[in-house]
Amino acid sequence: MKYVFTLAALTEYHEAAEWYRERSLFAADRFIGDVEVAVGDICKDPQRYQRVRGGFQMFRLRRFPFKIIYHHANDLVTIYAVFHERRRPDAWRDR
């Protein structure tokens, strides 16, 4: 299955990775690795993860306080948000 990040989700992802990079290269590498594994897991079985409003689904990262919000249709997963769960948790809904 293919995937694509919306511009907003990609921006969030890059900003979070940069925030971790400024504090620790190790933490940044782990964060990026965790997001990559999460996207791979989502693509393998997109229906597996928690459903949220509007037909979206959510994947929680295990080691970082981030959630990935996505939608899948046909053979495409669209990632709408990669956001810190304690900062404006509903902000992604406006997308």
pLDDT for residue 40: 97
pLDDT for residue 75: 93
Cα–Cα distance between 15 and 2 in angstroms, integer? 23
pLDDT for residue 51: 95
Instruction: Answer yes or no: is 91 within a domain.
Output: no
Instruction: Answer yes or no: is 95 within a domain.
Output: no
Range of the domain at 15: 2-85
pLDDT for residue 63: 94
Instruction: Answer yes or no: is 15 within a domain.
Output: yes
Q: Cα(first)–Cα(last) distance of the chain, in Å?
A: 23
Instruction: Answer yes or no: is 49 within a domain.
Output: yes
pLDDT for residue 87: 67
Tens digit of pLDDT per residue, the chain (95 long)? 899 999 999 999 999 999 999 999 999 999 999 999 999 999 999 999 999 988 899 999 999 999 999 999 999 999 999 999 876 655 555 55
Token pair recorded at residue 15: 């900003």
Instruction: Answer yes or no: is 54 within a domain.
Output: yes
Instruction: Answer yes or no: is 93 within a domain.
Output: no
Instruction: Answer yes or no: is 17 within a domain.
Output: yes
What total of structural domains would you count in the chain? 1
Residue 7 one-letter amino acid: L
The CATH number linked to 68 is 3.30.2310.20
Instruction: Answer yes or no: is 92 within a domain.
Output: no
